[in-house]
Structure 1
Amino acid sequence: MEVGYHIKCKKGDVAKNVIVVGDPGRATLASKIMEDARLVNENRGLLTYTGKYDGIEVTVATHGMGAPSAAIVIEELLMLGAQNIIRVGTTGAIQPHIDVGDVVVPNGAIPLDGSTRGYVPEGFCPVPDFFLMKTLCEAIDRRGLRKHVGLIATFDLFYAEANSAEMWRRRNVLSVEMECSVIFTLAYLRKA
């Protein structure tokens, strides 16, 4: 792919190291702490910036809300050269020991969304790349942040019924969100 259909970037506009966010405001905020940040896409509100952080080239890209939008963006980022993708965003903690501001690092995502099922059969439990997850955990520890590593659940619905979250809480799921399952699946399938 020379130019993305939704992300109007060319090969070379996207770094191999990518941070994805749901909110375009977060992408803009991240660009302000990057060196030489340049806006490489604004099509469809999917703001994408490439620059450097601590001397390393990085892209920060918006994927919007939910697995369908995230799948489109991740597919195109991978086609444009992304190799390491970390999602930074909001998750709904369902365990009482997780406080606002804590970092949740998923070691697996229960796929309760429809998009993941479009790629893999039922029974497939998407997991992140172990070495990327380990590196992320080490970076969080160096910064002295409080982190929780464990399973999360990816839903299609933001306003799901409370009893659904309660069921997953009893099964020790840390939090619920709307994108990680399909992101992990695509990274696995596309060998990123």
Structure 2
Amino acid sequence: MSVHIEAKKGDIAETILLPGDPLRAKWIAETYLENPFCFNKVRNMFGYTGTYQGKPVSVMGTGMGVPSISIYAHELITDYNVKNLIRVGSAGSYQEHIKIRDIVLAMAASSNSGLNELRFNGADYAPTANFELFQKAVDAAKSKNIPIKAGNVFTSDEFYADDFESYKKWSKFGVLCVEMESAGLYTIAAKHNVKALSVLTISDSLVTGKRTSAKERETTFNNMIKIALSLA
């Protein structure tokens, strides 16, 4: 048992899917895993382990933001020996050609979070995906005929920015979308020499204003789950 996870040793698989929403974790476990059992209810951050195509897989919510996912990633790695951490989350499109429900693989994560600035004494650190997981995800998407986009994403500490138009600066430099966790996940994974990848579904667009409902975000983003489970 760690500070925020009540699982026993051996309850959590080496590969874990990490949605921000704990209810999405519950839905993934009940929809895709065989014989899932709940290993965590602390703070209602539900976590489950089962099997997928005969392989043990876990799934657990992380909450919103870099600090929250950093806590859970740290404990999963150091206390439970997790080796592959795959974020399955929603994101807001920064580009006109990236539409609602498109899948984005985060190759790197720019950020306005101050955590790495503190960690590296004011120097810039560029958090990136693990290449092996990234390549496997690309291959899995091709085999399942799931179109994907890949590139730089923006991890923001703000959900409601004071200047809505500020996203256009990131868009101009090719950033594909905004979310709130990948930079933290990639940094913690790199620190502990394990693998991480964010597989994102576009839930809304800052360009067009279109958006999905909370229920749709919780239960209908199937393609990213299929890609993520292929990495187990």
Note the C-alpha offset of 1:118: 4.2
Partner Cα distance (1:104, 1:190) in 2: 25
Partner Cα distance (2:44, 2:72) in 1: 12
* 2:126 aligned counterpart, secondary structure: coil
Note the C-alpha offset of 1:149: 0.6
What one-letter code is carried by the residue in structure 1 that aligns with 2:158? L
What one-letter code is carried by the residue in structure 2 that aligns with 1:29? W
1:17 aligns with 2:15: yes
Partner Cα distance (1:178, 1:131) in 2: 23
What one-letter code is carried by the residue in structure 1 that aligns with 2:187? T
Q: Which residue of 2 aligns with 1:100?
A: 100
Larger RCO (CA under 8 A, 6+ residues apart): 2
Q: Which residue of 2 aligns with 1:83?
A: 83
* 1:100 aligned counterpart, secondary structure: coil
State the superposition RMSD in angstroms. Answer: 1.1
Q: Which residue of 2 aligns with 1:45?
A: 44
Partner Cα distance (1:87, 1:119) in 2: 22
TM-score (norm 1): 0.95
Structure 1 runs of 4+ with >4 Å offset: none
Q: Which residue of 2 aligns with 1:185?
A: 187
Q: For 1:160-171, what aligned pairs fall within 5 Å after superposition?
A: 160=161, 161-171=163-173
Same amino acid, percent of matched pairs: 33
Note the C-alpha offset of 1:111: 2.6
Alignment check: 8 A CA contact 2:117 2:124 kept? no
TM-score (norm 2): 0.79
Q: Of 28, 31, 52, which residue of structure 1 is paired with 2:29?
A: 31
Partner Cα distance (2:118, 2:18) in 1: 21
Q: Deviations over 1:149-181 (max 9, x none)?
A: 100011100112322211100111001111000
Structure 2 runs not aligned, ≥5 long: 195-232
Partner Cα distance (1:23, 1:173) in 2: 24
Count, aligned residues: 190
Q: Deviations over 1:97-148 (max 9, x none)?
A: 1111110101100132123334445311000110011111111222211210
* 2:89 aligned counterpart, secondary structure: coil
Question: Which deviates the most, 117-126 or 98-107?
Answer: 117-126
* 1:90 aligned counterpart, secondary structure: strand
Alignment check: 8 A CA contact 1:111 1:126 kept? no
Note the C-alpha offset of 1:14: 1.0
Partner Cα distance (2:92, 2:9) in 1: 35
